[in-house]
Structure 1
Amino acid sequence: MIEGLYETHVQVKNLKKAVQFYTEVLGLALAHYDETRPIAFLWIGENKKAMLGLWEQPENLQKRHFAFSCSKDFILQAANIFLENNGLQAYNFLKNGTQAPMVFAWMPALALYFDDPDGNQLEFIHILEGEGRPELGVVSYEEWIKINSTHQNKS
């Protein structure tokens, strides 16, 4: 019945600034802008496949979290540079001071976090091949590779 998530919405303090961030920095395409509500809809990836709604809420902003699917190579090799070049700070799920991506072993998925200008928590995520290992919790990518190579050698 359900095939995927089509859209999600977040609140932003200034709609024009938020649209500028999501289109010019993150590369999403503007689908519709309605100043009377005020709301903007942006395409994520291919048009009409997924959408992000931005609702202007100047006060009492409720911050949200969502993740963008990305390639493993982008997350490992370019995400930090991309974020830094756009004045954004990368952090990992553990918020332990490192900007290195982490692996959620239960999925498994490689992930790196950053905040939009309104403090919404955004994530770049890539689902890794192989079986999940929930007992490992959250580990560095290097640790994930090492554990999986040891685990495969034992099989």
Structure 2
Amino acid sequence: MIRGLYEAHLPVKNLEVSIEFYTRLGLKFAWRDDDTAFFWIEEGKSWIGLWEGEEYQTSYHPSLRHIAFQVTYDDLKQSLKWLESIQVKAVPFGRRSTIDPFIRPNQGNASVYFDDPDGNSLELMCYIEVPDHLKHITDKLSFHEWEELLKKQ
């Protein structure tokens, strides 16, 4: 029955500032009204709605105010350079001290994090193939550590 995600929504303080930010990310503007703007993530398939209002003050929690955008593995390897090129700063995830992208072998994915102008948590994320004998690893590994593990097979 369910075939994918159609839409997600985030609260923003200033719609004009947010429209400029999400345009820099390369998302295609879909439409807007007085206090709402929508951008296509995949045109005709999924979009993100930005809602101007006091709700942007809602405290962050991973279950609130977070969206992950799917990218390729190679894109994720270049993500810090890309973010810097559009004047967006990556942020550490959780208790990590580094902003570098990382691999979660036990989940079969890799990520890098950054925030929008209102502190909404955004993530670039990709799926990765994990050999069965490495699926037990719960540590977050750098791309270098991950690729070295794969070479040892």
TM bracket, shorter-chain basis: 0.7 to 0.9
Query: In the alignment, which residue of structure 1 is the partner of 2:139?
Result: 137
Alpha-carbon distance between aligned partners in 1 of 2:106 and 2:4, rounded to the nearest angstrom: 20
Q: Please give the TM-score of this superposition, normalised by the length of structure 1.
A: 0.83
Letter in 1 for 2:137: E
Secondary structure in 2 matching 1:143:
helix
Shift of the alpha carbon at 1:94?
4.4
Secondary structure in 1 matching 2:147:
helix
Alpha-carbon distance between aligned partners in 1 of 2:94 and 2:150, rounded to the nearest angstrom: 21
- Does residue 128 (structure 1) correspond to residue 128 (structure 2)? The answer is yes
Whether contact under 8 Å (1:67, 1:125) holds in the other structure is yes
Letter in 1 for 2:151: S
1:33–1:60 distance in 2 versus 1, CA, 3 Å: closer
Unaligned runs of 5+ in 2: none
Letter in 2 for 1:138: K
Shift of the alpha carbon at 1:91?
3.0
Letter in 2 for 1:70: V
Range that drifts further, 56-65 or 14-23: 56-65
Matches within 5 A, 1:37-52: 38-45=35-42, 47-52=43-48
- Does residue 57 (structure 1) correspond to residue 34 (structure 2)? The answer is no
Q: Which runs of 4+ in 1 moved over 6 A?
A: none
Unaligned runs of 5+ in 1: none
Alpha-carbon distance between aligned partners in 2 of 1:8 and 1:113, rounded to the nearest angstrom: 17
Alpha-carbon distance between aligned partners in 1 of 2:94 and 2:56, rounded to the nearest angstrom: 27
How many pairs were matched up?
Answer: 146
Letter in 2 for 1:123: E
Letter in 2 for 1:68: F
Identity percentage over the alignment? Answer: 38
